[in-house]
């Protein structure tokens, strides 16, 4: 009897953040309480979507907005996004915006339209895993450029420049960064844009955590990149605390029309997949246009939890961490030379102490190894309990 094989491209997809959840689920089935510091979902902890945004979703359902929407997004949301992006210095109209089922789908459609076999795309190392997986899925080559831990995980411009070849097509920026929490300097963004312009590349700027910052505000890539072709990615999931609603977007800032063919390729895919969630789009518009007061409160809570996590890490011999400037991640270094296999460390910690982290090599086998990613989203008591267990793990070694 014939056995059907999966395609090569599907076999190569890895997503470390959820892959490590499989053994954690087995421990939970056995009755163990697992402390989860692995996933960037604020609503899995003690955060919740602001009420006025939930009310807009409910109202959309009750008004019967349950059918298909236009493939690129409902017109009022497209205009709200364009208005928002113009406020960030990104000169776009509603016609330049395409709504996706989360930023992840937007990224998939963008690479599906932009990447041909053999094309190279520069992504920060370490990086959010789909930046590697989706480039490979479309037979491109993801090339990680170094971000410098000793400089708070800022991009290493010399390393970035050295990795450009005649096959390079785009430079990706994730700011604030996942997995490191780095908030990039404006001068760094301007330098990256200069490199892109010099080599005739376009920029992809993932700004999904843009308003989750602590000591200073984000410099939007649009304000730092002149006339270099730019695609901005953003959505409802993080700042507006609604990750399960799956609404994101891409905005093409392309005054000379150099990305017209790529944009057309994205639009073709958008039409083929019909549309994103219609009521969730209505709610996203309400999020963009409604009260923003929850953001300062969320950031104050996260900053306090970040500082607690840093304090606990500093007290453990064998761990160290750069201070995150944004998002809700940190990327500690495992300094104990006996624990340099970061995936083995994460799995052993899970097995012995029931604390779930994500191995750093899952975000880049070169620049992520010897590290782990954790979120500082949980309440203080959960963070303290998790670090009590981690500290105990290191004492018992």
**Nearest-angstrom CA–CA distance, 397 and 395:** 6
CA 383 – CA 373 distance, rounded (Å):
14
C-alpha span between 102 and 107 (Å, rounded): 9
The band of 394, judged by pLDDT with boundaries at 50, 70 and 90, is very high
Please tell me the predicted confidence (pLDDT) of residue 11: 80
**Residues sharing a CB contact under 8 Å with residue 19, sequence separation 6 or more, in sequence order:** 362
Domains (range + CATH), the chain: 8-48+294-395 (3.90.1150.10), 52-289 (3.40.640.10)
Report whether pLDDT(16) > 80.
Answer: no
36 three-class SS: strand
Given a cut of 90, is residue 17 above it in pLDDT?
Answer: no
Counting Cα atoms < 13 Å in the Cβ hemisphere of 230 gives 28
Phi, psi of 155 (to 5 degrees): -60, 140
Which band of pLDDT confidence, cut at 50, 70 and 90, is reported for residue 12? confident
pLDDT at 9 over 90: no
Beta bridge partners of 202: 170
What region, left, alpha or beta, does residue 378 occupy, with left being phi > 0 and alpha being psi -120 to 50 degrees?
Answer: beta
Residue 125 has pLDDT above 90, yes or no: yes
In this predicted structure, what is the pLDDT of residue 352?
A: 95
Residue pair 65/278 in contact (Cβ under 8 Å)? The answer is yes
pLDDT of residue 13: 74
Q: Beta-carbon neighbour count of residue 87 at 10 Å?
A: 9
Task: Tell me the percentage of the chain whose pLDDT exceeds 70.
Answer: 99
DSSP secondary structure, 257-323, as one string? -TTHHHHHHHHHHHHHT--S-HHHHHHHHHHHHS--THHHHHHHHHHHHHHHHHHHHHTSTTEE-PP
Measured at the alpha carbon of residue 159, what is the angle toward residues 225 and 174, in degrees to the nearest 5? 45
- Four-CA torsion 116, 117, 121, 127, nearest 10 degrees: 110
Q: Per-residue confidence at 297, pLDDT binned at 50, 70, 90?
A: very high
DSSP letters, 208-269, are TTTT-BSSS----HHHHSTTS-EEEEEESTTTTT-GGG--EEEEEE-TT-TTHHHHHHHHHH
Query: What gap in Å lies between CA 386 and CA 380, rounded to an integer?
Result: 10
Measured CA to CA, the distance from residue 369 to residue 60 in angstroms comes to: 46
Question: Could you tell me if 72 and 95 are in contact, meaning their C-beta atoms sit under 8 angstroms apart?
Answer: no
Does residue 361 register a pLDDT over 90?
A: yes
Average pLDDT, the chain: 95
The total number of residues written for the chain in this structure = 397
Q: Who contacts 305 (Cβ-Cβ below 8 Å, separation ≥6)?
A: 376, 377, 378, 379, 380, 383
* Residue pLDDT, tens place only, 170-188: 999 999 999 999 999 999 9
Determine the pLDDT at residue 2: 84
What pLDDT, on a 0 to 100 scale, did the predictor assign at position 175?
98
């Amino acid at each position: 009897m014939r056995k059907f094989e999966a395609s090569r491209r599907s076999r190569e997809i890895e997503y470390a953040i959820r892959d490590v959840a499989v053994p954690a689920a087995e421990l939970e089935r056995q009755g163990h309480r697992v402390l989860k510091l692995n996933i960037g979902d604020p609503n899995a902890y003690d955060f919740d979507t602001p009420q006025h945004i939930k009310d807009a979703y409910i109202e959309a359902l009750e008004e019967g907005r349950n059918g298909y929407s236009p493939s690129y997004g409902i017109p009022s949301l497209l205009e709200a996004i364009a208005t928002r992006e113009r406020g960030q210095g990104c000169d776009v109209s509603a016609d330049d915006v395409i709504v996706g089922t989360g930023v992840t789908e937007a990224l998939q459609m963008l690479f599906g339209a932009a990447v041909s076999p053999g094309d190279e795309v520069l992504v920060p190392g370490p990086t959010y895993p789909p930046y590697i997986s989706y480039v490979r899925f479309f037979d491109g080559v993801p090339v990680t450029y170094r971000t410098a831990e000793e400089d708070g995980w800022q991009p290493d411009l010399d390393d970035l420049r050295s990795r450009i070849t005649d096959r390079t097509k785009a430079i990706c920026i994730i700011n604030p960064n996942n997995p490191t929490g780095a908030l990039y300097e404006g001068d760094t963004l301007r330098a990256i844009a200069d490199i892109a312009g010099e080599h005739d590349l376009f920029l992809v700027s993932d700004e999904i955590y843009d308003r989750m910052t602590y000591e200073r505000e984000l410099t939007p890539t649009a304000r730092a990149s002149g006339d270099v072709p730019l695609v901005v990615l953003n959505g409802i999931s993080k700042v507006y605390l609604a990750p399960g609603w799956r609404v994101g977007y891409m905005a093409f800032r392309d005054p000379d029309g150099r990305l017209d063919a790529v944009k057309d390729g994205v639009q073709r895919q958008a039409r083929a997949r019909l549309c994103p969630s219609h009521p969730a789009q209505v709610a996203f518009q309400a999020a963009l246009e409604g009260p923003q007061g929850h953001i300062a409160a969320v950031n104050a809570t996260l900053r306090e939890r970040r500082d607690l996590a840093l304090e606990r890490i500093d007290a453990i011999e064998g761990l160290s961490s750069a201070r995150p400037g944004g998002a809700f991640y940190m990327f500690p270094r495992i300094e104990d030379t006996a624990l340099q296999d970061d995936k083995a460390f994460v799995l052993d910690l899970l097995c012995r102490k029931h604390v779930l982290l994500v191995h750093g090599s899952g975000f880049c086998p070169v620049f992520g190894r010897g590290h782990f990613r954790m979120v500082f989203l949980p309440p203080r008591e959960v963070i303290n309990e998790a670090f009590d267990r981690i500290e105990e793990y290191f004492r018992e070694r």
